[in-house]
């Protein structure tokens, strides 16, 4: 399963959205080469070559930022240690095994870091215009229990006022051979987060989002709380303006860095605007989560001998 671009617009959008990730992935091996005293011509050639590979990876696996960073870091580490271990690097098989080991290890390091760094209560304000009437804009952006707007599905309102929310992004089921569940199967699983409407008047809504377990009222189980004000105001009969003020601590410093690398905020609002204006979205967050690592894992599972034999 691959997310081949359907048009040149997909290619250009993915290249632009992942521009920061491509630059960082290209820079890390070059810094290792520079520390080893490589000449400028070698550094420039290496940067362009890695940038081409990183860009190609981003087009084919647009959600594989962890894989891209892991491969870049693994290459940088190999360049640093190669002069100190020349006999080991004489054999290509040793190099391949070490790269694969680092490729698998680095994501575990990312997971260990993520969520354990300081969080800051950040205010983010986003404002843009839509080419739709105000009521249609409100239908796409305001929270409604027992509904779906294409980007997320809302369950029924619980007695405590919280509404379960499932995002449209589908992740492979690790308990079912990495198969991708359907939307109906997703709705039977644990929600991605909970939301509670605090205030609502006209086309203005204030809500609270909570990343937590089932006991969302328990502050001990809450991972983060975000308060968001969404306001839809008419510009003319067929146009409206969306203003979103969001304040919360859903991401720690490491998560913010990763979110910035993949320009997650721009992709999030691209999806919302495309859905509101009724056109197919280019946003990568709306695609099933397909990465190089998942594809390798699925291939290895397929190559395993059958238990029936």
Domain positions in the chain are 8-113, 122-250
Q: Are 125 and 245 in contact (CB under 8 A)?
A: yes
Q: Cα separations (Å) of 114 from 108, 110, 153? A: 10, 6, 26
The pTM of the full predicted model, rounded to 2 decimals, is: 0.81
Rounded CA-CA distance 112/100 in Å is 19
228: how many CB neighbours lie within 10 A of its CB? 18
**How many C-beta atoms lie closer than 10 Å to residue 36's C-beta?**
12
Query: Whose CA is closest to 245, among 231, 224, 225, 265?
Result: 231
pLDDT of residue 263: 92
* Predicted local distance difference test score (pLDDT) of residue 151: 81
DSSP class of 119:
B
CB 74 within 8 A of CB 96: no
In eight-state DSSP terms, residue 285 is: G
pLDDT at residue 214, as a whole number: 46
Given this model, what pLDDT does residue 221 score?
44
Opening angle at CA 142, ends 136 and 143, nearest 5: 130
pLDDT at 174: 59
Fold (topology level) of 122-250: Alpha-D-Glucose-1,6-Bisphosphate; Chain A, domain 4 (3.30.530)
**Cβ-based neighbours of 300, under 8 Å, separated by 6 or more:** none
Predicted pLDDT of residue 73 = 94
> How many other C-beta atoms lie within 10 A of the C-beta of residue 90?
9
Alpha helices in the chain (DSSP H): 8-17, 19-35, 40-60, 65-81, 92-113, 134-141, 183-187, 253-261, 264-276, 292-303
Per-residue pLDDT of the chain (309 residues; tens, 9 = 90+): 566 788 899 999 999 999 999 999 999 999 999 998 889 999 999 999 999 999 999 999 998 888 999 999 999 999 999 888 888 888 888 888 898 889 889 988 887 876 677 777 788 898 989 999 999 999 889 999 998 887 888 999 999 899 999 887 777 655 555 566 666 777 778 888 899 999 999 999 999 998 765 454 544 345 567 899 999 999 998 999 999 999 887 777 777 888 899 998 889 889 888 988 888 889 988 887 788 887 777 777 666 555 544
Q: What is the pLDDT of residue 1?
A: 57
178, 301 contact by CB (below 8 A): yes
- How far is CA 165 from each of CA 77, 177, 193, rounded to the nearest angstrom? 41, 25, 5
CA pair distance 307, 309, nearest whole angstrom:
5
* DSSP 8-state code for residue 156: P
| Secondary structure of residue 162 in the 3-state scheme | strand
The tokens 């809504």 sit on which residue?
205
47-79 per-residue burial string, b: 16 or more CB within 10 A, e: under 16: beebbebbbebbbbbbbbbbbbbbbbbbbbbbb
């Amino acid at each position: 399963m691959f997310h081949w671009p359907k048009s040149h617009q997909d290619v250009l959008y993915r290249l632009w959205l992942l521009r920061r990730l491509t630059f960082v992935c290209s820079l890390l091996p070059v810094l290792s080469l520079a520390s080893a005293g490589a000449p400028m011509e070698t550094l420039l050639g290496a940067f362009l070559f890695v940038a081409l590979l990183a860009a190609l990876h981003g087009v084919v696996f647009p959600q594989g930022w962890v894989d891209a960073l892991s491969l870049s870091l693994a290459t940088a580490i190999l360049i640093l240690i190669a002069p100190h271990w020349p006999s080991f690097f004489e054999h290509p098989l040793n190099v391949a095994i070490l790269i694969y080991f680092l490729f698998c290890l680095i994501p575990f390091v990312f997971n260990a870091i993520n969520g354990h760094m300081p969080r800051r209560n950040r205010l983010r304000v986003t404002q843009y215009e839509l080419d739709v009437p105000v009521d249609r804009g409100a239908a796409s952006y305001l929270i409604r229990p027992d509904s779906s707007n294409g980007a997320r599905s809302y369950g029924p309102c619980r007695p405590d006022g919280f509404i379960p929310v499932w995002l449209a992004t589908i992740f492979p089921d690790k308990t079912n051979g990495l198969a991708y569940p359907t939307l109906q199967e997703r709705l039977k699983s644990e929600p991605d987060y909970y939301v509670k409407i605090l205030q609502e008047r006209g086309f203005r809504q204030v809500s609270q989002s909570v990343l937590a377990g089932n006991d969302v009222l328990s502050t001990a189980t809450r991972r983060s709380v975000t308060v968001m004000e969404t306001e839809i105001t008419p510009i003319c009969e067929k146009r409206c303006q969306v203003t979103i003020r969001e304040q919360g601590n859903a991401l720690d410093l490491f998560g913010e860095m990763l979110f910035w690398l993949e320009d997650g905020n721009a992709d999030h609002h691209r999806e919302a605007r495309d859905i509101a204006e009724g056109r197919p979205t280019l946003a990568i967050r709306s695609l099933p989560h397909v990465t190089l690592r998942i594809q390798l894992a699925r291939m290895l599972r397929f190559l395993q001998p059958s238990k029936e034999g």
